[in-house]
Every structure is written in structure tokens, then in C-alpha cells.
Amino acid sequence: MNMNTKLNLSINSERLLKRLHELGRTGLDNDNKRTRLAASDGDKAGRDLLVTWMKEAGLQVEIDKIGNIFGIWYGSENRNEAPLLLGSHIDTVINAGMYDGCYGVLSGLEVINSLKEKGFIPTRPIAVGAFTNEEGVRYQPDMMGSLVYAGGLSADDALKSVGTDGTILGEELERIGYAGSKEPGFLKPHAYIELHVEQGPILDKMNIPVGAVENLQGISWQRITIEGVANHAGTTPTNMRRDAGLAAARVITYLRDQANASNGTTVATVGTIEFKPNAVNVIPSLATFTVDLRDPNEQRLKEEEKALANYLKELAISEEVSITTEQLVRFNPVTFDQTIVEMIEQAASGRGLHSRRMTSGAGHDAQMMARICPTAMIFVPSIDGISHNPKEFTKDTDLVAGANVLLDVVSNLAGN
């Protein structure tokens, strides 16, 4: 067994839960909705609280140019070792829950806090990070802080990003006091581990407390525009119709058929749609909709994209419509570090917790960090899979269990 279970260490569950609720009370708007958009006043309130706790824990606090916050526990003998990095984000969507991101950051802090208090001697620095603008609601792209940190986007370009409210990210970070001086990437992690609520229903429905996240779905977003001919719904015989709305419906049912045929690896969603002219008695001349395709395997994701393109070609002929597509987003799937994933499984098992290997269906900072170091994620159940919503909920016992699994993995990776 690994060291910590031998030492029988556990986190201070009361402190973790208390902090989670306290952070959750920052950024409430006039309607009492929790909204800490990146670099807003609400975000500043959350950041200030986090930095206070990091300092109380005796961590060295560093802010980089994109506003990522790091609290680092340097030991006297380990300054030359690559640090083990834990973390996530504390920015939120509009009217958010209190677990998404915050749980990972505060658990990382709690793990360090507990290890320090219990006299654990780390063989390498252990740090906890809160990445700027993971949600991407106010500034694009999402997962910005970790993307910049991993070298996928320059800090200068990211700081020029114009918000939905017309603000400039760089100016807003200055304003709230989080435009740091460190170069993004200044810490070269030995490994990165992100603990997160699942934001999906699998663990909850299967009653499994721990997900050992082995990969993260690739994401392909397309906007599809189908152009037919607007005609009178009563006077146009069926065989003379060029119905853009019908063609769109055929794409939606096709995508479900493909998802069903994939044995659960591919998921496909049409979440937005618009018809024009959108009148009860006029055949739609235009249908515009989005396709969100995901698969954890790049080869399969490419095959699905190609199959869709072929289907659209056939459909354009059979329905006498013209179809154009535009790629909106494309992320390759990410495979996490198998060694760490196994450690997560072992840690869960060591605590008598069931776990299952799983795929992350959502994007996370971990997918960016995987570019620069061995990375993995730990999931805990989200009741009914609800997230990005005040109803987001994870039971305290699951929160504590997940943080203890993180502690075990950390003490393994940073222990003797």
C-alpha cells in the first residue's frame, strides 16, 4: 500500500465543506444567484477568499499574467523537484451551482493543508491552482487560463479578449488586482490531478462514488445550414416540396441512429435550431442548427464527422436542398495518464470505495494540462447529472470521499 494509508491520513472534512459553502456565498447577484464570471467583481471576491486561505495554509501565492492563481507548498529539501499540481477553477457560469470547479480547487488546498498539518514530508512541492476563465461565458475561449498555461495560446492574445459586455480581459484583471507577473507555465508540473463533480448522471445512476477518468471526449461542433424553398403549406404538393425543416429533422434522427450504433462511445446532440420564415403555413426555406458530436477516440470521431458529411451529401440530393456546414469548435480527445488512473482506482479501493473507469464528457482544465504533463481526473457523483444550475448537488459523503482519494494519490506521487 502507499504511504498515506499506512499513515492513515484523511482530510479535514469539516473545513473542506465549510470553505465550499463560504466560497459558494461569494458572487451572489441582486437576485441571490451565484455568478462569478471571469475577472468580474464576483470573481475577485472568490479569488480574495482563496488567496486568504492559501496564505493561512502557509503556501507561497503566485499569480501569472493570465491571472491563474497558484498556492505552492515548498518543502525545505524539495525546491528542485517538479511540483505536483492539483486544481481546477473558481469562475462560474451565470446562476451556477457551488461545486463545479470550486470543489477541485478547495480539495487540492485541503489536501495540502491536511498533509502539512499531519507532518507529511513531500518529496516534491505540492501546489494547488485556480485557472482563469474556465467557463468561457464572459470571454472566449473557455478553459482559457489552462490553455495559456499549457502554451496553446499566448497570454498577450488572451488578455486582448473582448467580453460579452465589451470589456477587455486584461483591463479587468488589472482592475480586480489579478494581473500577475509570472509567466504562464512557470511551474513545470510533475503531474496534474483535477478532482471534479461529474456533471453527468453515470456515477449517480450506478451508485458508484468514484470515477477514475481515463480520457476526455473529443468535441466537434458544427453549424449546419439547409436551404430549401419557402412555399405555401396548402398548395404545394408533397412531391414538389424542398423542405429545409424536414431535411433538418432527418439529420437529427440520423445522428441518434449513429449514436445508438456506436455502443455508447459517440454522443450526438442537436441543441439549437431555427426555421425561416418560421410561419405555420409556410414550408421552411431555411433551417439552421448545431451538431455537437463527441467521442473519446479521435479515429471514431473523425469517422462520425465523415459519415455525417456523406449523409448530408445524400440528403441534399434526395431532398433537393443545399447544405452548408461550418466548424465551430474542434477539440481532439485526450487520453489521461494510465499510471495515475490506476493509482486513483487503487486509492478508491484502499478506502473501500467502488470506482469505475470513465470518460469525461465535458471539457476541463485537465485537457489542457495533459499537453504538458501526466494528467488525470477524479469524478464524484452529480445528483441527476445536473450542473451549471443552482440545483447542482453532490452529497457531503461523496465530496469527502473524493477528496480523500485525491489525498491518497497525492501522498503516493509526492511521498517516499
Binding-site ranges for a copy of itself (CB under 8 A): 198-202, 205, 217, 219, 221, 231-240, 243, 245-246, 248-250, 252-253, 256, 259-260, 264, 267, 269-275, 277-284, 290, 292, 294, 328, 360-363, 385-388
* Residue 54 CB, nearest approach to a copy of itself (Å): 30
* Residue 379 CB, nearest approach to a copy of itself (Å): 10
Strands 84-88 and 126-130: parallel
Crossing angle (nearest 10°) for helices 338-350 and 396-413: 120
Q: How many CB atoms lie within 10 A of CB 102?
A: 27
By C-beta, is 51 or 267 nearer to a copy of itself? Answer: 267
By C-beta, is 66 or 208 nearer to a copy of itself? Answer: 208
Q: How many CB atoms lie within 10 A of CB 356?
A: 17
* Residue 382 CB, nearest approach to a copy of itself (Å): 8
Strand partners, 196: 379
By C-beta, is 113 or 217 nearer to a copy of itself? Answer: 217
By C-beta, is 280 or 317 nearer to a copy of itself? Answer: 280
d(CA 147, CA 368): 5
- Phi, psi (deg, nearest 5) at residue 323: -130, 130
At 51 the three-state DSSP class reads helix
Cis peptide before 83 (omega within 30 of 0): no
Strands 210-216 and 355-360: parallel
By C-beta, is 160 or 391 nearer to a copy of itself? Answer: 391
- For residue 366, give the amino acid letter: A
* Residue 235 CB, nearest approach to a copy of itself (Å): 3
At 69 the three-state DSSP class reads strand
Closest to 94 (Cα-Cα) out of 167, 38, 172: 38
DSSP 171-190: HHHHHHT----BPTT-S--S
Distance set, CA 193 to CA 199, 236, 340, 394 (Å):
17, 60, 8, 20
H or E segment to which residue 141 belongs: none
Q: How many CB atoms lie within 10 A of CB 252?
A: 14
By C-beta, is 180 or 245 nearer to a copy of itself? Answer: 245
* Residue 238 CB, nearest approach to a copy of itself (Å): 5
Say if residues 283 and 243 touch (Cβ distance below 8 Å). Answer: yes
* Residue 218 CB, nearest approach to a copy of itself (Å): 10
d(CA 210, CA 380): 5
By C-beta, is 2 or 88 nearer to a copy of itself? Answer: 88
By C-beta, is 4 or 288 nearer to a copy of itself? Answer: 288
* Residue 108 CB, nearest approach to a copy of itself (Å): 22
Say if residues 325 and 309 touch (Cβ distance below 8 Å). Answer: yes
By C-beta, is 12 or 269 nearer to a copy of itself? Answer: 269
By C-beta, is 1 or 328 nearer to a copy of itself? Answer: 328
d(CA 154, CA 184): 9
Cα-Cα end-to-end distance for the chain: 12
* Residue 98 CB, nearest approach to a copy of itself (Å): 17
